[in-house]
């Protein structure tokens, strides 16, 4: 769909529902005339075919579905995945062009690729919401219905309906389309899934004057709602997408979801850390190239720096942490569908809560009664014992409970019990049948949770009366003789009963709208006495009625009278008109019902206030009812309302705002309303709910939306987090939501807020813990490039930390318990309170990270020193340390002084070139290879090779030739000597006095290079007689004249590269172990952000396991022989674990002091600059 068309459709969906040319306010005659039909014939077959071609089938339009492979490919499009894939590719390239085929790059590339694949696969499996939502809507669509076409009533699939079809609806039917009634008899529909109204709604064939919206029209029945009672005939006015359900489905599927706050935070962090990694990597690659380091070596360095900067285990840690929290929340009756939703709930600033079933119990309950001119509280118990406890307990509001022994109340009980068709369903799930009498004796029995027949009000009254006496037993004493059912015309219900004493006259009982009941009364009962109903007493009745109505309660009146003796049970009683006295009744009282707040909701709302979270009620119910419930649970406080900071906003108000064409003025209206501290939205449509969410999000709020009905699906999807009800919730709302409350309890949302804040805290702690090891990982590469220290930590060892030893401890922080002030803080400000802020970076990198790096370097130098390589000799020799043997000059005390490298290994040019055999030129001149040239010992014969690194001098006292060490890189430089070089020397330069050649070397060159004149060697053959070249890339790493090979802590005549490589491997291993040792302290200090560890304790068992795990894994990686081969580790001496311990103690002490100073001086300098 083009963007403009999409925008127009989105705007249209947000408008009030309409049906094209048809106006639902038309009379039945005009509606039938518009479609050219009658109530007897319906559409003709030709008309049906024409309308089917015009409007299409009655089926919701499914959203466009993206193929699974495209969705999977999109998982690799995020910056973090691309960065790691890029690093993996660089590793493979480095391995392919490396002549020595070092497997390190290959291993590294494979690991990085696997990290990306596993993460992408997990993310892919989390998605598929849009299709699931539409499947949920499809489940709601009725299968078949009764239609009159061409004068015949037929049964057709609901999908075949078209506008103009004449549909017959009966009790229990699901409405198959949006239908405008033309005939109705005692007709009621359950609109709760669409509007949130608890009571079934009356429907007639006439639309009242003044109705402006479809949802308020009494003559409309909506697609998928249920007919509860009565019969009706109606004309289909809307099908498929052009229905109330279609509008909601369109809103749900077109509504775009925002990224969750945690995903935004993680994305920002990844971008930041990735940019730092790339900039550092490229910078030091360039520095290396300038310094003349080889391309392959520079690529490896760059990969190392990038890998060290990027916490490869972060996404896995975050995912596992969220999953663990979701598991913990499941134990608190919260099912988490979208893992990131856990943290979003913790960031929530506004909870837009549905009323029915979330804040309230979704069952009408008798709240108050009025008799003897006094209002009493009417508690409903779960069983006899519970009811007695409630009756004897003090009432928090100061109201008095009713007294069951009062004679007037006894008559009220009689009328309420008898004039009532509701019955308990006493069949258990296992098929067994129980009795209410026995059940009510059980202290664990919950009568309030049982299902009953009848409408919501009758069920509430029945459950109230059951506490006094079993209603079935009571009714059995008063057999029913005659009944007139409730209807919308009379607005009352009447029945006639025998009395327990058969000699007593029959009794008439009446229940209904108080104003209708009082009209049928001539008397009123006060204190058990029958009094004439005077105007003064009627005024008192009106005052009580209005007071209870003002509380948002549904008020019913009750009356009775005894019939004259001439009316017995055999009399033929008539309904229309009545043929017995029914207008001289005795008024006994009022019962007021309301869908009461759930237990724990007021406390949960109070908790939200403490946490500075606004709770808005959003309902389709009446404003007075909504306001009453809001006050009872604390969403609206009386003092706040009097101060003008609380408001009840009606759907009509929103319509007026949306009708404003100027967007600035329209937004100003919304902003003025949403700036109130406490808000209740009443009589709102599904589109209004969506607009409420969108406008709050526009203002920068993080909105959690709760709902259970189909109408809630768009808002649930649009909210930053959608919370559906598990018991009363429709499948559609559950599919659109991110979380499901298994107990439908608002208090569980507040538990979720607490858990969400805890997961943010714990993720912060986990990231802080993870980032501190970045500096000791990056440091070795920076030092390696800048001051040319032998590389203290390999890239494979970095992955051993990031994906090995650090993983379990980082995850263990998800198990950390909340800190005491977690629900007393304001919701985090997404603009300032970041997951990773500058204070956390400063703490992790510049404070703890630096200490860890120093610990690593200290341990590394201790180990190298133990292997004979003193710290002061290491600078400048790092680039060649793993390739060439080190040479050092020695001080008088035997300590090494200045170290560097001599010559490169010689080229192997054995063989015959142009007829000349170079394989053997005599024992004295054998060319050395594979490990260095032969070094002369004291000898009586000068066996010097002109290309050898070490020179000799004749000792006159001993009369022997002795070694004088490395000849140096100056005039005697053996590294630059070739046969071509010797040929180009002048006769004077070949003289020993020139200082270029030693005594006898000229003759050796002549012989070795076939320059004695006996044979004319070709220029082609001569070029194969090369020298060694210099091993040192830079002048500062060249060995000094007189230097000897150095290993084992002393001068040596022969090189030993294996010893040197092993010494470095041991030192690198010790650096790796030192990271583990200091991470012990880091894990402990990350447990709290301000509290002392001694206050928080070590109750986190999984963290204690994490400490053991990282230590054990570190030991396995260095002491298991196969690991030494795979990761190039070495089995350290136990003493080499200890150099990091003082640094670990320093880190712990530093942080405890820092936290103490923060607690001592809140909002002081330390807290402002170091509290992360």
Q: How many helices (H) and strands (E) does the chain have?
A: 44, 32
Residue ranges of E strands in 361-520: 365-371, 374-377, 480-484, 492-497, 507-512
Best CA proximity match to 338, nearest among 778, 717, 70? 717
Q: b vs e for 785-798, b when ≥16 Cβ sit within 10 Å of the residue's Cβ?
A: beebbbbbbbbbbb
Sign of CA dihedral 671, 674, 677, 680: positive
CA 946 remoteness from chain centre:
73
Q: Which two tokens stand for residue 1123?
A: 């690991």
Q: Say which DSSP state 727 is in.
A: S
Residue with tokens 């119990």: 361
Query: Which one of 354, 621, 653, 761 is the catalytic residue?
Result: 354
3-state secondary structure of 747: helix
Look-up: residue for tokens 């970095």? Answer: 798
- In this structure, the dihedral spanned by the alpha carbons of residues 667, 670, 672 and 675, taken in order and rounded to 10 degrees, is -120
Neighbours of 644 (CB within 10 A): 9
The dihedral formed by the CA atoms of 248, 254, 260 and 263, expressed in degrees to the nearest 10: 150
The tokens describing 492, both together, are 């009352």
Is there a catalytic annotation at residue 354? yes
Count of Cβ atoms closer than 10 Å to residue 306 Cβ: 25
Three-state secondary-structure class, residue 120: helix
Is the separation of the CB atoms in 779 and 731 below 8 Å?
no
Calpha distance 95→106 (Å, rounded) = 6
Nearest residue to 395 via CA among 413, 412, 377: 377
On whether the CB atoms of residues 1003 and 924 are closer than 8 A, the answer is no
Distance between terminal CA atoms of the chain?
Answer: 46
**1141-1160 and 1057-1085 are packed helices; what angle lies between their axes, rounded to 10 degrees?**
20
- DSSP-derived secondary structure letter, 176: -
Asked if the bond preceding 577 is cis, omega within 30° of 0, the reply is yes
SS3 220: strand
Element (H or E) spanning 1027, and its range? none
Q: How many CB atoms lie within 10 A of CB 756?
A: 27
**At CA 90, angle to CA 1124 and CA 853, rounded to 5?**
55
Is there a contact between 465 and 416 (Cβ–Cβ < 8 Å)?
A: yes
Phi, psi of 495 (to 5 degrees): -145, 155
Active site residues: 354
């Amino acid at each position: 769909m083009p963007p403009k068309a999409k925008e127009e459709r989105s705007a249209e969906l947000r408008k009030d529902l309409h049906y094209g040319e048809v106006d639902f306010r038309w009379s039945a005659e005009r509606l039938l005339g518009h479609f050219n039909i009658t109530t007897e014939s319906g559409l003709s077959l030709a008309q049906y075919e024409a309308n089917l071609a015009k409007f299409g089938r009655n089926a919701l339009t499914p959203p466009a579905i993206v193929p699974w492979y495209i969705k999977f490919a999109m998982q690799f499009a995020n910056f973090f995945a691309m960065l790691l894939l890029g690093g993996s590719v660089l590793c493979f390239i480095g391995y392919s062009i490396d002549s020595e085929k070092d497997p390190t790059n290959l291993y590294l590339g494979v690991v990085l690729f696997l990290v990306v694949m596993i993460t992408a696969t997990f993310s892919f499996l989390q998605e598929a919401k849009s299709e699931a939502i539409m499947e949920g809507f499809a489940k709601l669509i009725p299968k078949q219905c009764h239609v009159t076409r061409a004068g015949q009533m037929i049964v057709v699939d609901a999908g075949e309906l078209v506008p103009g079809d004449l549909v017959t609806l009966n009790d229990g039917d699901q409405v198959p389309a949006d239908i405008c009634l033309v005939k109705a008899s005692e007709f009621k529909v359950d609109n709760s899934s669409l509007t949130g109204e608890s009571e079934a709604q009356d429907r007639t064939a006439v639309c009242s004057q003044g109705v402006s919206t479809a949802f308020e029209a009494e003559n409309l029945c909506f697609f998928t709602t249920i007919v509860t009672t009565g019969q009706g005939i109606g004309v289909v006015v809307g099908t498929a997408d052009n229905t109330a359900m279609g509008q909601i489905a369109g809103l749900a599927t077109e509504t775009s979801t925002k990224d969750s706050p945690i995903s935004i935070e993680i994305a920002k962090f990844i971008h930041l850390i990735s940019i730092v990694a790339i900039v550092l990597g490229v910078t030091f690659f360039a520095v290396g190239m300038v310094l003349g380091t080889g391309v392959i070596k520079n690529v490896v360095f760059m990969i190392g720096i990038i890998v060290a900067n990027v916490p490869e285990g972060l996404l896995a840690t975050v995912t596992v942490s969220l999953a663990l929290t979701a598991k913990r929340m499941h134990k608190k009756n919260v099912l988490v569908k979208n893992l990131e939703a856990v943290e979003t709930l913790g960031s929530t600033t506004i909870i837009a809560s549905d009323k029915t079933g979330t804040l309230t119990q979704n069952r009408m309950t008798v709240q108050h009664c009025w008799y003897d001119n006094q209002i009493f509280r009417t508690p409903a118990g779960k069983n006899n014992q519970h009811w007695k406890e409630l009756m004897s307990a003090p009432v928090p509001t100061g109201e008095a409970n009713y007294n069951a022994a009062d004679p007037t109340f006894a008559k009220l009980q009689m009328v309420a019990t008898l004039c009532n068709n509701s019955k308990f369903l006493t069949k258990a799930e296992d098929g067994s049948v129980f009795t209410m009498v026995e059940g009510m004796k059980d202290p664990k029995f919950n009568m309030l949770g049982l299902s009953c027949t009848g409408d919501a009000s009758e069920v509430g009254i029945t459950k109230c009366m059951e506490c006094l006496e079993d209603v079935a037993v009571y009714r059995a004493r008063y057999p029913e003789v005659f009944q007139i059912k409730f209807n919308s015309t009379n607005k009352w219900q009447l029945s006639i009963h025998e009395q327990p004493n058969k000699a007593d006259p029959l009794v008439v009982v009446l229940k209904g709208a108080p104003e209708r009941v009082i009209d049928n009364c001539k008397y009123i009962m006060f204190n058990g006495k029958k009094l004439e109903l005077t105007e003064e007493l009627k005024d008192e009745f009106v005052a009580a009625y209005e007071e209870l109505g003002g509380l948002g309660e549904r008020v019913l009146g009750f009356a009775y009278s005894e019939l004259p003796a001439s009316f017995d049970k055999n009399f033929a009683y008539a309904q229309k008109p009545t043929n017995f006295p029914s207008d001289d009744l005795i008024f006994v009282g009022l019962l007021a019902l309301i869908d009461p707040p759930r237990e724990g909701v007021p406390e949960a709302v109070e908790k939200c206030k403490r946490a500075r979270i606004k709770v808005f009620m959003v309902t389709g119910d009446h404003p007075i009812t909504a306001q009453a419930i809001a006050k009872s649970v604390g969403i609206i406080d009386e003092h706040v309302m009097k101060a003008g900071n609380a408001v009840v906003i009606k759907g009509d108000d929103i319509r007026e705002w949306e009708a404003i064409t100027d967007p600035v003025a329209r937004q100003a209206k919304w902003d003025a309303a949403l700036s109130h501290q406490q808000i209740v939205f009443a009589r709102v449509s599904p589109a209004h709910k969506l607009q409420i969410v969108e406008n709050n999000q526009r203002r920068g709020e993080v909105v959690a939306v709760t709902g259970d009905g189909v109408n809630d699906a768009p808002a649930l999807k649009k909210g930053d987090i959608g919370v559906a009800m598990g018991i009363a919730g429709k499948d559609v709302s559950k599919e659109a939501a991110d979380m499901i409350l298994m107990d439908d309890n608002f208090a569980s949302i507040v538990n979720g807020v607490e858990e969400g804040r805890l997961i943010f805290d714990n993720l912060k702690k986990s990231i802080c813990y993870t980032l501190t090891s970045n500096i000791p990982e990056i440091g070795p590469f920076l030092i390696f490039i800048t001051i040319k220290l032998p590389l203290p930590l390999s890239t494979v060892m970095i992955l051993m930390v990031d994906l090995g030893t650090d993983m379990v401890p980082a995850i263990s922080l998800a198990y950390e318990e909340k800190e005491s002030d977690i629900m007393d803080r304001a919701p985090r400000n997404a603009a300032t309170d970041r997951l990773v802020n500058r204070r956390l970076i400063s703490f992790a990198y510049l404070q703890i990270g630096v200490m860890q790096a120093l610990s690593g370097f200290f341990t590394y130098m201790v180990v190298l020193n133990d292997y004979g390589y003193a710290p002061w000799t290491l600078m400048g020799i790092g680039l060649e340390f793993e390739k060439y043997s080190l040479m050092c000059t020695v001080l008088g005390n035997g300590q090494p002084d200045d170290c560097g490298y001599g010559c490169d290994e010689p080229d192997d040019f054995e063989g015959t070139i142009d007829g000349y055999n170079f394989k053997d030129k005599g024992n004295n001149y054998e060319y050395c290879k594979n490990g260095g040239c032969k070094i002369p010992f004291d000898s009586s014969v000068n066996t010097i090779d002109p290309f050898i690194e070490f020179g000799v001098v004749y000792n006159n006292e001993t009369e022997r030739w002795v070694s004088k060490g490395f000849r140096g890189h100056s005039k005697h430089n053996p590294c630059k000597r070739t046969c071509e070089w010797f040929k180009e020397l002048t006769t004077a330069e070949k003289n020993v006095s020139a200082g270029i050649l030693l005594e006898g070397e000229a003759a050796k060159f002549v012989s070795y290079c076939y320059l004695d004149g006996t044979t004319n060697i070709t220029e082609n053959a001569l070029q194969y007689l090369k020298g060694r070249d210099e091993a040192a890339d830079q002048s500062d790493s060249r060995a000094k004249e007189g230097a000897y090979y150095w290993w084992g802590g002393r001068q040596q005549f022969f090189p030993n590269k294996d010893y040197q490589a092993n010494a470095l491997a041991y030192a690198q291993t010790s650096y790796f172990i030192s990271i583990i040792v200091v991470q012990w302290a880091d894990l402990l200090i990350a447990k709290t952000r301000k509290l002392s560890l001694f206050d928080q304790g070590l109750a986190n068992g999984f963290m204690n396991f994490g400490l053991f795990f990282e230590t054990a894994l570190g030991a396995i990686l260095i002491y298991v022989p196969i690991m030494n081969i795979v990761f190039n580790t070495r089995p350290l001496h136990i003493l080499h674990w200890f150099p990091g311990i003082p640094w670990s103690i320093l880190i712990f002490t530093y942080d405890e002091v820092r936290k103490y100073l923060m607690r001592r001086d809140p909002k002081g300098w330390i807290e402002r600059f170091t509290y992360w």
